Amino acid sequence: RNALGSLGKSRAKFISAEETTGVTFEDFAGQEYIKKELQEIVRILKNEEEFQDKGIYCPKGVLLHGPPGTGKTLLAKAIAGEAGLPFFAANGTDFVEMFVGVAASRVKDLFATARSYAPSIIFIDEIDAIGSKRGGPDIGGGGAEREQGLLQILTEMDGFKQSTSQVLVIGATNRLDILDPALLRKGRFDKIIRVGLPSKDGRLAILQVHARNKYFRSEMEKDILLQEIAELTTDFTGAELQNILNEAGILTARKDLDFIGREELLEALKRQKGTFETGQEDSKEMPEELKLRLAYREAAVAVLACYYPDPHRPFTDTDILSITSKPRMRYAEVSGRAFARKSDYVNSIVRACAPRVIEEEIFGIDNLCWISAKATSDASIRAELLILQTGMTAFGKAYYRNQSDLVPNLAAKLEALRSEYMRFAVEKCSSILREYRSAVETITDVLLEKGVINAEEIWDIFKKAARIAQPHVYP
């Protein structure tokens, strides 16, 4: 233990070493399938020889990716803890320094140290800091230096033969998209596991883990309270849930109470939310590229809203301050849809395509992201409703509640007609956005500069760009 303990300080400050982490899979809650996969690896690590006889080898590298605070470090420690192996951790950002050659030599150090204690685990957090794509834009400088470090990681991982692979390398990142593909090749990080935000059940399980050492009036009250908190915390990470319980514990102590109650939990939740909304976290989470994508999406939605003003729901304003997967254009609710015509339905399909069409136009088909995924399915659902439920199309006049009511040949007919509408809508939407490209650009600029734009400004910009609309025919 001492040998390991002093190593952290004397030889390589950037490595933190633990002889045993003491963490187990019990400490990680939710997303059971992740644990199952990792348990498999632990089994192999523990019985390496037995598995090798059967020709089964442990992967050399496991890459955990997902948002910060979702438990990636915890999982890495649990693997070491469960297998009873020493754990050597470093952070990708520590490798990159201004001195030439540091990155490569630190990587060498890390691997040499871990090997001398093999079998062992190496954990590299924020591996994207050193492992981003080569030849890409050199954000923050140090490109050549980083590249040396990355090459060294590749060399080290290729160096140990699979049959003697006694060092398992675990990497963590929240930017899988920028990692150099060489890292993900077979024999390197060839096991890639996504660690996502927990579901409601997952959140409850996480809260239960962190409530283990806290006092509640009764087990039943604890269950009811945690259930309520789990309901209220959509999009929270495990780390944030842990914070809520800790904060509630502190509030309870401050009030000199014996048990955590509903009031303390809700107060703690409010505080956690507060830091989430106003803290630095948020701006860090909003990289320039995401802002640009959101601004273009809003601008495209706005232009389509002007092109096909919906008499039932005139839009009011738009903003890019909040990140959601849905377009944020706000519409004023007006009642009375009784006279919706076929053209209104079709136009709404065309409008729904806007986020996807603009993203493809600006960023290219290989660079689409989650932002426009919802829009595509939305358009396709609208087309399905029009075909199945309105009796206004070539499908016929019958009414079907949904697709599952259809006999096979009708289902095929639905698909054919739907793709015809979708093709029409995408083409129409593209041609409108091309025609009004200048308006899209202007609105995007305003959004990037000010974050918000109101309906009046949007109309002004649109009218300046307006030409005579082309007459169109619907399928």
**Residues of the shown chain interacting with ligand ADP in the complex, contacts defined by CB under 6 A:** 28-30, 68-74, 172, 206, 209, 238-239, 242
| Mode of pairing for the β-strands spanning 120-125 and 61-65 | unpaired
298 an active-site residue?
yes
Q: Between 74 and 350, whose beta carbon lies closer to ligand ADP?
A: 74
Residue 123 or 395: which CB sits closer to ligand ADP? 123
Q: Which is nearer to ligand ADP, 75 or 303 (CB)?
A: 75
Give me the least distance between CB of 390 and ligand ADP, in Å please.
46
> Which residues in 429-457 are b (16+ Cβ under 10 Å) and which e?
bbebbebbeebbebbbebbbeeeebebeb
Cβ of 300: how many Cβ atoms within 10 Å?
A: 32
Shortest distance (Å) from residue 410 CB to ligand ADP: 45
Q: Is 355 in contact with 296 (CB distance < 8 Å)?
A: no
Minimum distance of ligand ADP from residue 168's CB (angstroms)? 17
From residue 437, give the alpha-carbon distance in Å to each of 272, 440, 442, 447: 41, 5, 9, 15
| Sign of the dihedral through C-alpha 334, 339, 345, 347 | negative
**DSSP letters of 399-427?**
--SSGGG--HHHHHHHHHHHHHHHHHHHH
What are the tokens at 274? Answer: 């507060």
User: Residue 422 has which token pair?
Assistant: 């979708």
List the catalytic residue out of 298, 333, 359, 415: 298
* The two three-digit tokens of residue 143, written as one number: 């490109």
CB closer to ligand ADP out of 199 and 438: 199
- The answer to whether 65 and 194 are in contact (CB under 8 A) is yes
Q: How far is the CB of 87 from ligand ADP (least distance, A)?
A: 13
Helix (H) or strand (E) holding 319: strand 317-319
CB of 74 to ligand ADP, least distance (A): 4
> From CA 266, how far away is CA 249, in angstroms rounded?
12
The smaller minimum CB distance to ligand ADP, of residues 65 and 356, is found at 65
Q: How far is the CB of 167 from ligand ADP (least distance, A)?
A: 20
C-alpha distances in Å from residue 220, one per residue of 216, 223, 225, 229, 359:
9, 5, 9, 14, 50
Structure tokens at 198: 């927990």
Residue least distant from ligand ADP (Cβ):
238
| Least distance CB 284 / ligand ADP (angstroms) | 13
Is the CB of 248 or the CB of 295 nearer to ligand ADP?
Answer: 248
Question: How many other CB atoms sit within 10 Å of the CB of residue 210?
Answer: 19
Nearer to ligand ADP, 209 or 230 (CB): 209
**Catalytic center residues:** 298
